[in-house]
Structures are given as C-alpha cells and as structure tokens.
Amino acid sequence: MKKVYVGLSGGVDSAVSAALLKESGYEVHGIFMKNWSRNIGGHKCLWQDDLASARSVAAHLQIPFEIYDFEKEYFEQVAEYMITTYKKGLTPNPDVMCNQKIKFDTFYHKCLQQGADYVATGHYAKIEPGRLGVARDSSKDQTYFLYRINPDISDKILFPLGDIEKSEVRELAKKYNLPNYSRKDSQGLCFVGNVPMKDFLSEFIKPKKGHIMDDEGREVGEHNGAFTFTIGQRHGLGIGGGLPYFVYKIDTSNNIVYVTTDENSDLLNKKEFIINDCVWWSDIDEKNDYLVRVRYRSELKEAKISKITGGSYRVELTKKERAIAPGQSAVIYKDGCVVGGGIIN
C-alpha cells in the first residue's frame, strides 16, 4: 500500500483530499504545518483553531497525525522575503513563495524522509509527471500560486481536487461526515491570517510620512510609508474630491508615491514587460501564442514570449494591461497547462 502524507490545514479542501485518498486505498498520514503563531497589530493568529480542526479531521478519518513546526523556515524564506521586497517598492506574492519554499520543498522533503511515497495537498490544480494543468473548477484554479513547484518532483505530488468542483467538495465533506464540513475557507495572508497587509508590514518596517505626487509633479497628499502601496491601487490613498487616483509608481528610496487620474495613461497601462527568476514546465517557442496571467484572478491575456539575455524573458501582450506590478508573478499557459513563469521586473 502506497503511503501519502497530506498537508491538513484545518480547512475543508485538505480534509476532503485526505478522505478521497483513504477511500482510494492509500495509507494516509495527516500533517499540520505550524508556520506562524504570532499575533500581528491586534489581529489574533488562529493557528490553534486550525490545528484543532486538522486534528479532529485526522481522528475522524482514523489516520496518523503529526505537527511539523516550520516557523523558522517560514519566517526566513517567506516573511522576510515579503518584507524585503515591499521595502524595495515591489509587490511580492507570499502564497507563491510559500508553495515553492515551504509546502513543496521543506514540507515535501521532510515527508519523503519520513517514508512518504507521495505528498498531497488540497490545492485546485491537476498534476502528473512533468505537467501542471488547470483545475476543472476554473474559478478556484490555483496554478498561478503553484507554477514555481520544481517540475522534477511532480511525480510525487497529488492534488485530489483537480477534477472536482468546489461545490462538490462541500457535498463530499458532508458525505464523509467530516467535522469541519461547514468551516469557512481561510482568508488573508498565507498562514498569518486575515491581517491587512499594511498592519503586517508596519510590524516590521517603521512607518514614515511622505508625499503623494501626481503625474504633473504636484503634491496631492501624504502617506505613512511608500512600502504600504501597490501599483494600480486606488483605495486608501486619502486623497479627497474629484476623479479617483491610481498609483503608478512607488519610490521607497525617497518615500514618494506617484499617482494619476488618467485610467488610460501609459504610466498605468503597459503592453510589454520583463520576467526574471523563471521556472519552466516546458520549452518556450517564440512562434507560439500564449496566455498570461499577471496576478491572481486577472484575466488571461494573449502574448508572445521571447528569451533575452541572462535567463530573462520578454512578455509582449496583444493588448495593454493595467497595473502590472513589479515583484508579482506572471504565469504563462498553453492548452490548459502551465508553461512556466517568472517574477515581473
């Protein structure tokens, strides 16, 4: 009997994944990853609630259960990366980095060292050796967050929910009488919880007043730290009256945020950008047309991809896209599968 270690988060998706794998004949082990336990800015970390939920699921399914403590690794490889990137005025994606560095590296390798034949999670995606495909439930598809998995380990990863609609998952949770079948899906920052990003960053970066300048060089407002803004942001700027403003540039060196009221401005809308630090599931053919997603839940856009020097690639969209944020990931698709992607420069 093949042994599979399942990352039990306390949520319904991972619980159903464990139930499906057990029903399929695997020897299932439930593992809870303790990645964060610190309260931030008055917001309570709910890791103990998640742990209790995961433990109850394992008990109900009658599977072995363990806790893996990765707080040190998570802080060093995800939280510090996120803080450092925001300090530079860029917009990182902690979920992408958590999957690459923690779930499918640190966690994955520990599971195999403990005797696992496979490692499974409750992600919505399809995976097989050398291929990462879009989930059947496209509204829940998580391949954007998973593209940085090392393709070489794809033969040891299972995503039981890849062919299941989210609504079916809730029904299966009831069918298996799982104790968390009605638990709400988790929200907010990966493993930290529902904490506003501004509050999280302010815990580690000292706020400092600065100027908000428009595209004609006029000061139109003040802020408490350029690092708390993202490209394309229009809410929370504190600029009253008239047309809405959009952030188009962040200068953390001088602590200045630049805005425009012109939604169609080339300052805000771009057709071409560069990606670095890429991960590829298959080779790029510069003659092909591809689909690109520049942030989670953004629409797929047609594009051409071409290689330039030093492992960087140029992405040329057929139409301009608003708020392409340096630091975010651009993920490239072809025929329902992830081709690869990289960090927007």
pLDDT tens, 54-64?
Answer: 999 999 999 99
Tokens 């805005």, residue located: 259
- Token pair 């609504």 is found at 167
Average pLDDT over residues 159-184: 94
Active site annotation includes 190: yes
Residue 189 pLDDT: 66
In CATH, which superfamily holds the domain spanning 269-344? Translation factors (2.40.30.10)
**Predicted confidence (pLDDT) per residue in 77-105, tens digit:** 999 999 999 999 999 999 999 999 999 99
The stretch 18-44 carries a mean pLDDT of 94
Contact 40, 155 (CB under 8 A): no
Give the per-residue pLDDT at 73.
Answer: 98
Look at residue 203 and tell me whether its pLDDT is greater than 70.
Answer: yes
Q: Which percentage of the chain shows pLDDT scores above 70?
A: 98
pLDDT of 191 reads 61
- The secondary structure element, H or E, covering residue 45 is none
Distance CA 266, CA 134 (A): 32
Spatial distance between the Cα atoms of 339 and 141, rounded to a whole number of angstroms: 15
User: Mean pLDDT throughout 134-143?
Assistant: 97
The answer on pLDDT for 193 being more than 80 is no
Q: What integer pLDDT is reported at residue 186 of this predicted model?
A: 74
Domain ranges of the chain: 3-175, 206-260, 269-344
CA distance 100 to 104: 5
The CA distance from 342 to 345, in Å, is 9
Q: What is the pLDDT of residue 309?
A: 85
DSSP at 200: H
At residue 175, the pLDDT reads 96
Cα angle 253, 212, 202 (rounded to 5 degrees) comes to 60
What CA–CA distance (Å, rounded) separates 113 from 108? Answer: 9
pLDDT-based confidence at 233, cuts 50/70/90? Answer: very high
Q: How far apart are the first and last CA of the chain?
A: 46
Phi and psi angles of residue 142, each rounded to the nearest 5 degrees, phi first: -120, 20
3-state secondary structure of 262: coil
Q: If you average pLDDT over every residue of the chain, what do you get?
A: 94
Same fold, 3-175 and 206-260: no
Q: What is the pLDDT, as a whole number, of residue 334? A: 98
3-class DSSP state of 155: helix
Q: Residues, the chain, total?
A: 345
| Fold of domain 206-260 | SH3 type barrels. (2.30.30)
What kind of architecture, by CATH, is found in domain 3-175? 3-Layer(aba) Sandwich (3.40)
Geometric angle at alpha carbon 103, from 99 and 108, rounded to 5° = 135
Residue 293 CA, distance from chain mean position: 13
The secondary structure of 23-44, three-state, reads HCCCEEEEEEEECCCCCECCEC
Catalytic residue among 98, 111, 278, 337: 98
Q: Distance between CA atoms of 333 and 83, rounded to whole angstroms?
A: 29
Burial class (CB in 10 A: 0-12, 13-18, 19+), 177: exposed
Q: Find the catalytic residue in 45, 190, 278, 337.
A: 190
Statement: residue 187 has pLDDT above 70: no
Residues 302 and 318: their CA atoms lie apart, in Å, by: 6
Report d(CA 8, CA 18) in Å as an integer: 8
Which residue has 């001088």 as its token pair? 254
Pairing assessment for the beta strands 219-223 and 210-214 based on DSSP bridges: antiparallel
State how far the Cα of 153 lies from the Cα of 156, in Å rounded to an integer: 6
Contact 204, 175 (CB under 8 A): no
Give the tens place of pLDDT for each residue, 237-289. 989 778 899 999 999 999 999 999 999 999 999 999 999 999 999 999 999 99
pLDDT, residue 293, reads 98
